[in-house]
Amino acid sequence: MAGFHHVELWVADLTQDRAEWGWLLDELGFTRQSEWPGGESWAAGGAYLTLTTSPNVSGGSHDRRAPGVNHLAFKGGAPGRVDAIMAHAEQHGWRPLYHDRYPHAGGSDHYAGWLENSAGFKAEIVADRS
């Protein structure tokens, strides 16, 4: 019974994060399951990711270098699919990281791309092993 039920990200700018995360999650095969004034949930594979605001949020951006979550890693499908996501990410608010070492910044046997959005959240898009 291992696995995540859901992950909840508290965001400071829901409008911006809806646009950035919405594009990425849609590209990765997630489906928006619900939406309300303060957030939304996206589901895939029996788990879901929620973006939500909270009156308890402090600060304006996520610091992935501070204690807490550094990044979320997503299954990206075939290497060509990861390439396509990486090629279009900047048009949707995501900045490539480690692009000089893409697609093997994680090692020669690891095909992946890393992205950071305007709020400082980092996502890793991992290709299936062939």
Residue % of the chain over a pLDDT of 90: 77
Q: How confident is the model at residue 85 (pLDDT cuts 50, 70, 90)?
A: very high
- Asked whether residue 62 is domain-assigned, the answer is no
Q: How many domains does the chain have?
A: 1
**CATH code of the domain covering residue 84:** 3.10.180.10
Answer whether residue 76 is part of any domain.
yes
Asked if the model's pLDDT at residue 88 lies above 70, the reply is yes
**Contact between residue 78 and residue 68 where contact means Cβ atoms under 8 Å apart:** no
Mean pLDDT across the chain: 91
Sequence-separated (6 or more) residues with CB below 8 Å from residue 12? 53, 57, 59, 60, 61, 119
Residue 63 reports pLDDT greater than 80: no
